[in-house]
Structure 1
C-alpha cells in the first residue's frame, strides 16, 4: 500500500524543519563558544603582552631569561584570536567567507600554528641547554630562530593559496585546503609541511622535555616564567590532537575525502582553546600572577621633580 503524496510531502517538510532546527541550535552553540573564545583570548593575550612589556621596561628578572620566545608565542596567540578566531565567528554568522580574505586567513592560520609550535620548541631548547636570551649573540640567535618559524609557516601556508587549493569549509568554519586532482601532490605537500613545521619542532620539544625532566639539562633557573613550559606543551598537545587526527585521516584516504565534519569542527574549536588557555597557564606562576595584579590594580604615578626654567629678579 503506497502512501498518499500529501502525506509524503508533509513528512518531508517536517524532516526539513527538524533539520533546520538542529542546524540552528548547532549554529547558536558555535557562535556562543567562538564568541567566548575570542573575548577571552584577546583580553588575556593583550594583558599578557602588556604585562611582559611593562616588566621588561622595569628590568624585572622574571622575564629576562626567555622573553623573546615567550613574547613570540603570545603574539602568535593574539594574532590567532584577532584574525583567525574572529574570522571563524563571522563565517558562522554570515555562512561563508569571500576571496581574498578567505585565502589570507588560510595562510595566516598555518603561520600561527607553525610560529607557536616553533616558539615552544625554542623555549624548550633554551631551558634544556641553559641558553638565556640576554647575551648579545644569544639574543640574535633566538630572534633568528623565532623569525624562521614565522617565515616557514608563511611559506608553506602560501603554497595552497598559489595553487588555488583553498575553499570554504563549513565544518572548519574557515577556508581550508581541499584536494581534487592528485593524491601524490597532496601527499608530497602534507609530508613536507608536517616534517618541517610540525614533526621537527615536536621532536625537539619531546627530547628537550625528557632531558629536562630527567635532570640532564642545564636550566637557567626554575624561578623564571619558563617554569610553565611543561604545562604549555601538555595543553598544546591536547588541543591540537584533533587537528593531527583529521590530517592523518586525510592522508589515509586515497579518494582525497576529508575527515568527518564533527572532527574538523572539534579541531578548530580545540586549536582556538589553546590560545585562550595560554594566558591562564602563565598565571599559574606566582611571581607572574602577582605582576599581573600589580599592573591591573597598582596606580603608579610618576614623581615630577621641579625643574628650574628661568630666574626672575624682583626689584625691592
Structure 2
C-alpha cells in the first residue's frame, strides 16, 4: 500500500513506476495463473456465501449478521476489482490513470473494512451485545459502515495529494514517497493507529477474552456461525503478515527504501488468498453448509420442474 519511488515515469494518460527489476516470463505466467485462480474462487465463493447469508438466514443460527455480511462484501469486492486489477496490470504492464488512483483507494477501503468487520465480530462475540436492544447494539451495527467510511477518508488523502504510483511488485498502484520522510511518517502513523492498530488490538484482546471463557461468549451456541470466528482471525492474521512486515520495514528505513521486492509481491498474493479462504471457513459450520446445499438443491429442482413438460389434463376417449 505504501512504498517509495526510485524512478518515476509519467505519460499523458498513464501512471507508471519503473521498479527495481522486471518479471521474467516464468514469473509472469505463475503470477497470472495464481491470480486467475484466486479471482475465480474468490468471486464464486463469496457470491455464494452472500447468497446463502441473505436467502437462508432462517435456516442456520447467526447472532451477528452485520459484520459477517460486511466482511463477505469486502472479500467479494476485493476479488472482483483488486485481484482482476492486478491480473490486468501484469498483462498490460501497468495501470492507467484514473483507474490507478481508484485501485489504490479501493485497496485501502477493503483492507480497512475487512479488519474492521472482524474486530466488530470479535467484540460482539466477546460481549454478547447482540442479545440486547440497547443503544450499544445500535452503535455496534453502525460500526461496520463506519469502517468503510474511514477507509474512504484515509484512502482519499494520497489521491488528492497525488502520492499514487504504480508498483510492479505489488501489481497495483500504491502510495510512494519521493523525498519527505516526515510526511510519510505522520500519514502512516495516523492511518495505522486508527485503521489498523486499533482494530488489531480489539481482535487480539477480545479473542483472548473469548478463549479464556470470560464475558457472555461462554454461553453462546456452538452451532452458531460465529463459532468460525477463531479460524477467520487466525487466517486473516496469517495472510496479512507479509503486508505488516513490508510496512514495518518501510517505517524503519530513514532513506525511504522500500521492503524487498518479493515481500511486496507476497503481501498482495496473500491478501487475495484471504478472500478465497473465508468462504471455505464458513462452510466448516454444519448448519451453514446444509443451508447452502438446501438452497442449491431447491434451485436445481425448480429449474428442472420449469424445463420438463408437466401433465395437467387427461381426457378419456370413448370408442
Paired position in structure 2 for 1:5: none
Paired position in structure 2 for 1:194: 192
Of 90, 95, 107, 1:109 maps to 107
Task: After TM superposition, list the pairs within 5 Å mapping 1:91-110 onto structure 2.
Answer: 91-110=89-108
State the alpha-carbon separation in 2 of the partners of residues 296 and 203 from structure 1: 39
How much has 1:298 moved relative to structure 2?
Answer: 2.6
State the alpha-carbon separation in 2 of the partners of residues 61 and 275 from structure 1: 22
How much has 1:142 moved relative to structure 2?
Answer: 2.7
Paired position in structure 1 for 2:159: 161
State the alpha-carbon separation in 2 of the partners of residues 168 and 288 from structure 1: 40
State the alpha-carbon separation in 2 of the partners of residues 37 and 134 from structure 1: 39
Paired position in structure 1 for 2:252: 252
Whether 1:120 and 2:118 are equivalent positions in the alignment is yes
Query: Structure 2 unaligned runs (5+)?
Result: 1-20, 303-319
How much has 1:133 moved relative to structure 2?
Answer: 7.1
Q: Considering only CA atoms, is the larger Rg found in Structure 1 or Structure 2?
A: 1
Are the aligned partners of 2:60 and 2:287 in contact in 1 as well (CA < 8 Å)?
no
SS in 1 for 2:222: coil
State the alpha-carbon separation in 2 of the partners of residues 43 and 138 from structure 1: 35
SS in 1 for 2:96: coil
Paired position in structure 2 for 1:298: 298
State the alpha-carbon separation in 2 of the partners of residues 176 and 258 from structure 1: 12
Whether 1:47 and 2:45 are equivalent positions in the alignment is no
Are the aligned partners of 2:123 and 2:206 in contact in 1 as well (CA < 8 Å)?
yes
Paired position in structure 1 for 2:25: 24
Task: After TM superposition, list the pairs within 5 Å mapping 1:176-215 onto structure 2.
Answer: 176-215=174-213
State the alpha-carbon separation in 1 of the partners of residues 66 and 61 from structure 2: 13
- Of structures 1 and 2, the one scoring higher in RCO (CA 8 A, sep 6+) is 2
Are the aligned partners of 1:67 and 1:133 in contact in 2 as well (CA < 8 Å)?
no
Paired position in structure 1 for 2:70: 72
State the alpha-carbon separation in 2 of the partners of residues 169 and 189 from structure 1: 19
Paired position in structure 1 for 2:61: 62
Change in 2 beyond 3 A, CA 1:164/1:223? same
Change in 2 beyond 3 A, CA 1:133/1:116? farther
State the alpha-carbon separation in 2 of the partners of residues 134 and 26 from structure 1: 53
State the alpha-carbon separation in 2 of the partners of residues 147 and 201 from structure 1: 14
How much has 1:217 moved relative to structure 2?
Answer: 2.1
State the alpha-carbon separation in 1 of the partners of residues 129 and 283 from structure 2: 24
Paired position in structure 2 for 1:38: 39
Change in 2 beyond 3 A, CA 1:136/1:75? farther
State the alpha-carbon separation in 2 of the partners of residues 60 and 130 from structure 1: 21
Please report the TM-score for the alignment, with normalisation by the length of structure 1.
0.85
Of 215, 218, 241, 2:216 maps to 218
State the alpha-carbon separation in 2 of the partners of residues 170 and 217 from structure 1: 47
How much has 1:140 moved relative to structure 2?
Answer: 3.0
